Structure 1
Amino acid sequence: MSARGSVRQDQYICKPGGDCEACPSNALTDSACGATGNRRPIHCITMSLYESLGHDNFTYSSQEGQLAAWEPCGKIVSVESADYWEFVLCNLAFSVVGLFIVFTRTRRTAAVHYKNLVARIRGGVRVGWSNRP
């Protein structure tokens, strides 16, 4: 838990207060950003307030004795999914371009070989790579 001042964890009850989000660049060294660089807001209240409210009435509204903090969390699924599909589509585009180049060169090579064969049959001059008799 990353909060101002020193707080003993056994004095507070905490619940997640939102979804994981990327840490801003100025907070990447904070312990709440963790290894993944993501954090989630948490809301903590004192044990005495928690017991006075009842265990089911813990809300996230601004109350006396509430402490807002951050905790590290895992990867953000939507960002990871978008990165995955971007990777797949880039690979697909590279494959299509590569196959187009291979087929174009194959057709051009076949055309040159065909012209050379026709020239050899007719007794003419070869075209393409080799003009040797």
Structure 2
Amino acid sequence: MIASVMFVCVHNAGRSQMAAGYLSHLAGDRIEVRSSGTAPADSVNTAVVEAMAEEGIDISKNTPKVLTNQDVKDSDYVITMGCGDACPFYPGKVYLDWQLQDPAGQGVDFVRPIRNEIRALVEALISRIDAKEK
């Protein structure tokens, strides 16, 4: 059975988009990837798109989506990033809260360290999922 991960932040325009982009890129189709926001923005942050393009990951066509209860129900791992108590809780899910700076309104120089931190967290998450799935 394939593991599934839901990344949630407020606007689904920065942190969760970067995390989903990395997970899709690094894990391929081994892990199902979702991302959404509690109050989605109209579009993905342009500095975030630029920072991910530097890594060879194109998220320019992504669109922020609203978080639904079904998204959480369908996920094995729910990774929150600054959305507080707005994320629904269901027993049996693995919940992780990643404390990351918000890239909203910031330039690419501010976004790069956040991007790098997210990559390290995603790599650790992949290792955790791989260890559990064996």
TM range (shorter): under 0.3
- TM-score using structure 2 length: 0.23
- TM-score using structure 1 length: 0.23
Higher relative contact order (CA 8 A, sep 6+): 2
Look at both structures and tell me which one has the larger radius of gyration over its CA atoms. 1
